[in-house]
Amino acid sequence: MVKQERAVRTRRAVLEAAAHVIGIRGYQAATMAEIIQRAGVTKGAVYFHFRSKDALARAVIREQTEPFVPPVSDSRLQDAIDFTHQVALALRSDPLLQAGTRIAVETTFSEEPLVPYQAWTDIITAMFADARDKGELLPAVVPERAAEFFVAAYMGVQLFSRAATNRADLPERVTALWRHTLPGLAAPGALGHLDPQGRSARIAV
Amino acid sequence: MVKQERAVRTRRAVLEAAAHVIGIRGYQAATMAEIIQRAGVTKGAVYFHFRSKDALARAVIREQTEPFVPPVSDSRLQDAIDFTHQVALALRSDPLLQAGTRIAVETTFSEEPLVPYQAWTDIITAMFADARDKGELLPAVVPERAAEFFVAAYMGVQLFSRAATNRADLPERVTALWRHTLPGLAAPGALGHLDPQGRSARIAV
């Protein structure tokens, strides 16, 4: 039991060290040597959990979405707005999210992209599908297509914010993203009730 | 005169070689040695025109938009749609555009991002401003803000298409981008006349 707990802690330390190094150096430039050094564990322990940098990248991609629990309220479209603002705030400091972005953009140009966006698209698709069932969407909107578009647009907005202000203006840019896309997503009856700034902007974070 | 022509041709050969190498290797991984070899000119000739890889990257960024002449018709919003489809088609084969994208995403994470998006944002801003003057925009839309949002979203859509299909589905994704954003941009009277697929989809390319 104690042994297992230690293994879980070691694995987490390695994953966080990898995220930290990838977030600073980039995915291609990050080395296993630096990740091992940063994790402060033995080389054997690292390779016990992750056989390669590729395996580490896949774990970062898979686990980056885990801490985020999408809100559930009467308006699933507002929940989606709030969720994307929650992720935007976390992107400023969460090493796994920051590493996930770098892995995403770098592997985009490789022979086998890791498709790191799938988990995000699945979360948004589920929320848009619920919104459709509640009559919040325009009839022509297909939840999965709309989610694919939205997640791609969010990635672009996020990269621009990183380049322009090191993500300081990301909440405003996410608000602008919703302002520009809600009229093409939301049914007229729902549109007036939605706050593109997110409800978290009105309550303590 | 002949000497000057040769200089222009040499400069262009170096720029295209740089774009080719950066497009394949990425900006960080591209070396001046490989660019010089690919250009088939002397090292001295390369450094006469471009003092560094950074100078080459800036020239790629500056000159990538030059071949694109935005269309001018009665509908400036349709012109913007057509223009983005024109760029989408070119992105599949134009080395300068492909290199521009790689420089953009890689320098996003550097201390001094090259802000390679500014030229694109300026072009779209001008078209949206004309559209506003013609009454094609919703009153709340600010051309510069809308252009900033649109260019960021376009970058994300482009990256996703590169990862998913090596840009084979980029035209469909650009159409989806417009379908989702036009209701938040266009005045109701203009919306019905706009074709998110672009007019070039209906005429020979």
B4-38: per-residue pLDDT in tens?
Answer: 888 899 999 999 999 999 998 988 889 999 999 99
Q: Considering the domain boundaries, does residue B191 fall inside one? A: yes
Structure token pair of residue B40: 């088939």
pLDDT in tens, B140-197: 999 999 999 999 999 999 999 999 899 999 999 999 999 999 999 999 999 999 999 9
* Domain count of the fold of chain B: 2
The distance of A115 to chain B (nearest Cα, Å) reads 7
| B102, B197: one domain | yes
The distance of B50 to chain A (nearest Cα, Å) reads 24
Question: B1 or B101: whose pLDDT is higher?
Answer: B101
Q: Which residue has the tokens 């990898």?
A: A18
The distance of B4 to chain A (nearest Cα, Å) reads 37
Q: Model confidence at B204, in pLDDT bands (50, 70, 90)?
A: very low
| A87, A177: one domain | yes
Using an 8 Å CB-CB cutoff, list chain A residues near B153. 152-153, 156-157, 177
| B113, B145: one domain | yes
Contact A109 B115 (CB under 8 A): no
Q: What percent of chain B has pLDDT over 70?
A: 94
Q: Considering the domain boundaries, does residue A107 fall inside one? A: yes
Q: What is the C-alpha separation between B171 and B101, in angstroms, rounded?
A: 17
| B87, B58: one domain | no
Asked if residue B201 has pLDDT above 60, the reply is: no
Q: Considering the domain boundaries, does residue B134 fall inside one? A: yes
The CATH number of the domain where A122 resides is what?
A: 1.10.357.10
Average pLDDT, integer, range B86-102:
93
Using an 8 Å CB-CB cutoff, list chain A residues near B105. 105-106, 108, 159
Q: Model confidence at B114, in pLDDT bands (50, 70, 90)?
A: low
Give the per-residue pLDDT at A204.
41
Closest CB to B155: pick one of A28, A156, A180. A156
Using an 8 Å CB-CB cutoff, list chain B residues near A145. 176
The CATH number of the domain where A28 resides is what?
A: 1.10.10.60
| B99, B38: one domain | no
| A40, A93: one domain | no
| B34, B119: one domain | no
Question: A203 or A164: whose pLDDT is higher?
Answer: A164
| B98, B162: one domain | yes
Q: Model confidence at B122, in pLDDT bands (50, 70, 90)?
A: very high
Query: A94 phi and psi, to 5 degrees?
Result: -80, 115
Give the per-residue pLDDT at B86.
95
| A173, A96: one domain | yes
Give the per-residue pLDDT at A76.
97
- DSSP 8-state class, residue B104: H
Q: What is the C-alpha separation between A5 and A12, in angstroms, rounded?
A: 11
Q: Considering the domain boundaries, does residue A71 fall inside one? A: no
Average pLDDT, integer, range A38-54:
93
Nearest CA among A128, B205, B186 for reference residue B196 = B186
pLDDT in tens, A160-184: 999 989 999 999 999 999 999 999 9
Q: Considering the domain boundaries, does residue A155 fall inside one? A: yes
Q: Considering the domain boundaries, does residue A67 fall inside one? A: no
| A156 Cβ contact partners less than 8 Å away, ≥ 6 residues apart | B151, B152, B153, B154, B155, B156, B157, B158, B159
Structure token pair of residue A128: 């848009």
| B113, B162: one domain | yes
Contact B117 A160 (CB under 8 A): yes
Closest CB to B156: pick one of A102, A146, A152. A152
* Cβ pair B15, B63 in contact under 8 A: yes
Q: Considering the domain boundaries, does residue B69 fall inside one? A: no
Choosing among A118, A149, A161, which should be mutated to test the B contact, i.e. which has the most B CBs within 10 A?
A149
Closest CB to A180: pick one of B146, B158, B164. B146
| A128, A189: one domain | yes
| B50, B81: one domain | no
Q: Which of A61, A89, A111 is the last residue of a domain?
A: A61
Distances (CA, A) of B141 to A108, A204, B182: 32, 30, 11
Contact A157 B160 (CB under 8 A): no
Q: Residue A14 sits in which domain range?
A: 2-61
Nearest CA among A145, A142, A124 for reference residue A80 = A124
Give the per-residue pLDDT at B43.
93
Q: Which of B12, B42, B63 is the last residue of a domain?
A: B63
Structure token pair of residue A21: 């190094």
Long-range CB contact pairs, A17-20, < 8 A, 24+: A18/A50, A18/A53, A18/A56, A18/A57, A18/A59, A18/A60, A18/A99, A19/A60, A19/A95, A19/A96, A19/A98, A19/A99, A20/A95, A20/A99
Q: Considering the domain boundaries, does residue B17 fall inside one? A: yes
Closest CB to B115: pick one of A107, A163, A181. A163
